[in-house]
Amino acid sequence: MIILQRTAKNLLSPALTGLMALFMALFMSISTAVLAQEAQGPLPLDEVRMFTEALDRIRMSYVEEIDDKTLLENAIRGMLSGLDPHSAYMAGNDFDNLQETTTGQFGGLGIEVGRENGFIKVISPIDDTPADKAGIRAGDLIIQIDNRPLQEILPEEAAGMMRGEPGTDVTVTISRDGREPFDLTITREVIAIASVRSRMLEEGYAYIRLSQFRLNTGDELEEELEELYAEHGDLNGIVLDLRNNPGGILQASVKVVDAFITEGKIVYTEGRLSETNMEFSASRDNPGRDTPLVVLINGGSASASEIVAGALQDHGRAIIMGTRSFGKGSVQTVLPLDERRAIKLTTSLYFTPGGRSIQAQGIVPDIEVGEALVTRRSRNVAQYNEADLAGRLDNGNDEEAVTEMQEALISAEQVLVNDYPLNEALNLLKGINAFQPPNAAPRSGSFAQRQN
C-alpha cells in the first residue's frame, strides 16, 4: 500500500499531495480488512488519477469556496451510498442518533426510513409516536421535509432533518398511492420506545406486540411472558405482532426466537470475511412454553422481524399470518473511525434455519390475510327471534330469555371496529384448541410440525 501511495503522489499536482494523503488515510481505515485479503488487487491508478482530478476541479471551480474536509467526507458518503441502501457514513449527530435508536430514546417523529428510486420511503412508523398518530403508513414516500425536496438525499440525512427538540414542528410532504401528495405538520416528541407490551385478548389468549428490536428487547419479552403466565396460568394461545416492526439488533431477534424454541439453529450469517460468519442456536430455556403461537407480519416487518418470523416458521413453532414482509436480509456493522465518526457497512447476509435468504424476497406468510377493518353490524330491526315473540314459552332453564330488540339501533359511535388480521389470528388459535384442546395430549415442542 505504501508503494501505491507513492505512485499516486507522483501523478498529482503539488497542491493536492497533502489532501490525497489524508483521503488515502481515511480510505485505508475503511477498507483495511478487505484490502488485506490476498485476492484483493491494487488500486486502479487511472481511477485514482480521475478522482483526484475531479477533486481538484471542484476545489478550484465550484461556484462557492468549499473546504477540503467537506469534500473528503462527501467522497466517503458517496462511496458508501453507491453500495446499497443501508450502508452509510455517520458523523456527529448521525452517530449519536444511531446510539439513541438502539438504546430506545431520542427526540423526533418515530419513523424508520429507507430509500427507493431516489426518494425516502417509510419502512414503518413506530407505535404510539407522533408519526404513527399523524397517520403515516408503511410504504409512504416522503418527498419533502419543510419544503426541501428529498430526491437523491440519503435516509440518514432525512432522519436527521426529522429529529429535533421536543415541541418543535416539522412538515413532511407525503406521496401515497391513490392520493395527491399532501402535507402533514407533526410536533416532535421525546421518543421513548417501549419495545414490548402485552394484553389479554380474551380469557386464555394473549397478545404481545414487539415494536422494535433494541438491546434489551429479549429480556423484556421474557418478563412479559413470566407476568402473563403468573397472572393467567397456562395460556391457550399467543399472538405475536411484528407488523410495521422495522427491526433493529440482530442479537435481540435471536433472544426472541429462543424464548419459544428449545433446540436447533435460529439464524446464521455469511459474508466475505470469516469474522462476519456467525451462527446462533437455541438454548434449553423455554419461557414461551409450548403455547400455540401465531405471528403477524406485513410489508413493514423488516430485518430482525423477518429473522424471528422465518426462524419460527422453519421450526414449525408458529403459524405466520399476514402479508409478505419487507425483504431486508442484510446485516450492517458499525465500524467506528474515531470518537465522532463511523461507517455503517453491510457486511453479511442472514439466512433462516432452513437456509433461506429473504433478501429482496421477504417472508411469505403461511396464511395470507390483508390489512382490513372489521365492523360489527348492528342488528336489523326487521329481524327477530323466538325470545322477541309475545306469549313465548319459558325455556325451563331458570334463565331469562335474551332480548335484543331494544339494542337493534345503535349510533355510529357504538359500532365496534376491529383489527382484521388480529381477529383472524385469534380465531385460528381458537380453532387449534378446538381441534386439539390443551389437555387432550401433551405436545412435543411444537403444535404445528411442518415438513420442510
421-191-308-99 Cα dihedral, nearest 10 degrees: 160
Taking the C-alpha atoms of 79, 96, 218 and 190 in order, what is their torsion angle to the nearest 10 degrees? -130
- Say whether 314 is catalytic: yes
Q: What angle do CA 317, 320, 324 make, to 5 degrees?
A: 145
121, 255, 265, 328: the active-site residue: 328
Q: How far is CA 445 from CA 237, 248, 256, 365, 448, in A?
A: 14, 28, 16, 21, 9
198 within 8 A of 232, measured Cβ to Cβ: no
Which of 124, 195, 253, 303 is catalytic? The answer is 303
Q: What does residue 371 show for φ and ψ, rounded to 5 degrees?
A: -70, 130
**Type and span of the H or E element at 319:** strand 319-322
Q: Which residues contact residue 287 at a Cβ distance below 8 angstroms, ignoring those fewer than 6 apart?
A: 221, 222, 225, 226, 259
| Phi then psi dihedrals of residue 6, to 5 deg | -65, -40
Cα dist. 220→101, 267, 380, 438 in Å? 17, 21, 46, 26
At which residue does the C-alpha cell 414490548 appear? Answer: 196
Strand, coil or helix: 21: helix
The residues, ordered by sequence, that sit 6+ positions from 308 with a Cβ below 8 Å of its Cβ are 210, 240, 242, 253, 256, 257, 295
321: which DSSP letter? Answer: E
Is the distance from CB of 223 to CB of 216 less than 8 angstroms?
no
Neighbours of 215 (CB within 10 A): 14
Give kind and range of the element (H or E) at residue 8.
Answer: helix 2-10
Task: Write down the catalytic residue from 94, 127, 258, 314.
Answer: 314
* Phi and psi angles of residue 359, each rounded to the nearest 5 degrees, phi first: -60, 120
Distance from C-alpha of 258 to C-alpha of 96, rounded to nearest angstrom: 30
In the residue annotation, 303 being an active-site residue is answered as yes
CA distance 286 to 438: 17
Which helix (H) or strand (E) is 351 found in, with range?
Answer: strand 341-351
407: which DSSP letter? Answer: G
Rounded Cα distance between 150 and 154, Å, is 8
Report the catalytic residues: 303, 314, 328
